[in-house]
Amino acid sequence: MNSVTQTILLLAILLLTQTNAFAPTTNTHNTPTFVRSQIQTEKYNIIDTFKSVFNNFGKKATASHILITPRSWKSQEDAKVQLTQLKADIGNDSIKFAEAAAQISDCPSSKKGGSLGDFGPGMMVRDFDKVCFEEEVGVVHGPISTQFGEHLILITERTGDE
């Protein structure tokens, strides 16, 4: 194999193994697990990952999020209403966002104020990735639906933009 083919193969393997950033952890609280088919969102598609990597090559994003999963909502619509109200309350204030994430988010990142650190294109699920690499930095976006639940996303930095 030539070096270009090896690089593409390595990139494909990395992308396939890194797209489970929000994979639920094991259920240790005896709460019922959710059925992903109950969440109204489009399925993840590997073609979208390659498209994002191609379109955003060389970019990195740093973001925080607040996640409400099906195990803690009455309905998906209720979760969207709750996050919309929260978004109005916190505005684009990163400190208020981190405090809200620590109190509300169902993601383990809540311990770090919702911070996901920095990541490249294709490392998050499609709808999350799209927001982080196409929307305005410093603004709270959402609610965004993914197969993991409903999110508010605060993009704190993006490098590699033109």
Q: Return all residues near 24 (Cβ < 8 A) that are at least 6 apart.
A: 33, 69, 148
Residue 81 neighbours by CB distance under 10 Å? 15
> Which of 65, 47, 46, 71 shows the shortest CA–CA distance to 110?
65
Query: How confident is the model over 26-38, as pLDDT tens digits?
Result: 444 444 444 444 4
Query: What is the pLDDT at residue 1?
Result: 66
Query: What is the pLDDT at residue 2?
Result: 75
pLDDT tens by residue, the chain, 162 residues: 677 777 776 666 665 555 444 444 444 444 444 444 444 444 456 777 778 888 889 999 999 999 999 999 899 999 999 999 999 999 999 999 999 999 999 999 999 999 999 999 989 988 999 999 999 999 999 999 998 999 999 999 999 876
Q: CA 129, CA 52: separation in Å to the nearest integer?
A: 8
Cβ contact 46:80 at 8 Å: no
Q: CA 114, CA 63: separation in Å to the nearest integer?
A: 8
SS (HEC) of the chain: CCHHHHHHHHHHHHHHHHCCCCCCCCCCCCCCCCCHHHCCCCCCCHHHHHHHHHHCCCCEEEEEEEEECHHHCCCHHHHHHHHHHHHHHHCCCHHHHHHHHHHHCCCHHHHHCCEEEEECCCCCCHHHHHHHHHCCCCCEEEEEEECCEEEEEEEEEEECCC
Strand partners of residue 66: 152
